[in-house]
């Protein structure tokens, strides 16, 4: 996958030489990643040379009577990359990616907080990705 991230035009043969696997193994693994949804599409990354995005997590306490509408609204916010529904009283956990830290408050105030039935419990900025 790392080889495809670097250059999506690489042939299976080039990738196999770089990773030390057979071309058939590489082809099979790429097809499996496409089938399981790990690879959704091959596209151009216009932001590859731009500043890295600011990432944060937000823990939300939802009103479960409004959960369907809450999830629908959250799915429609482009800056939200991941939404997890957690067990017990943990509620919802979302990950956001924004151009800069200055964009965080407007995202919360103008988009997320306006959804009926949402109470924001905690926000954390991601400072380092270990794995």
Q: Are 116 and 69 in contact (CB under 8 A)?
A: yes
Start-end ranges of CATH 3.30.70.920 in the chain? 54-125
| Percentage of the chain exceeding pLDDT 70 | 92
pLDDT tens digits for range 42-83: 666 555 556 778 999 999 999 989 999 999 999 999 999 999
What pLDDT does residue 119 have?
94
**CATH topology for 54-125?**
Alpha-Beta Plaits (3.30.70)
Average pLDDT over the chain, rounded to an integer: 87
**CA distance linking residue 56 with residue 2, whole number of Å:** 24
- pTM of the predicted structure, to 2 decimals: 0.61
Helix (H, G, I), strand (E, B) or coil at 93: strand
Phi, psi dihedral angles at 57 (to 5 degrees): -115, 150
Write the burial class of residue 117 (CB in 10 Å: 0-12 exposed, 13-18 middle, 19+ buried): middle
Higher pLDDT pick, 41 / 113: 113
């Amino acid at each position: 996958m790392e080889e495809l991230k670097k250059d999506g035009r690489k042939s299976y043969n080039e990738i196999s030489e770089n990773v030390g696997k057979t071309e058939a193994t590489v082809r099979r693994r790429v097809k499996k990643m496409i089938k399981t949804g790990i690879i959704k599409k091959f596209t151009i990354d216009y932001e590859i040379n731009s500043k890295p995005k600011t990432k944060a997590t937000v823990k939300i306490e939802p009103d479960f009577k409004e959960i369907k509408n809450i999830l629908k609204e959250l799915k429609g916010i482009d800056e939200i990359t991941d939404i997890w529904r957690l067990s017990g009283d943990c509620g919802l956990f979302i990950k956001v990616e924004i151009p800069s830290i200055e964009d965080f408050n407007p995202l919360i105030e103008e988009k997320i907080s306006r959804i009926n039935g949402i109470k924001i419990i905690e926000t954390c900025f991601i400072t380092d990705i270990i794995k």
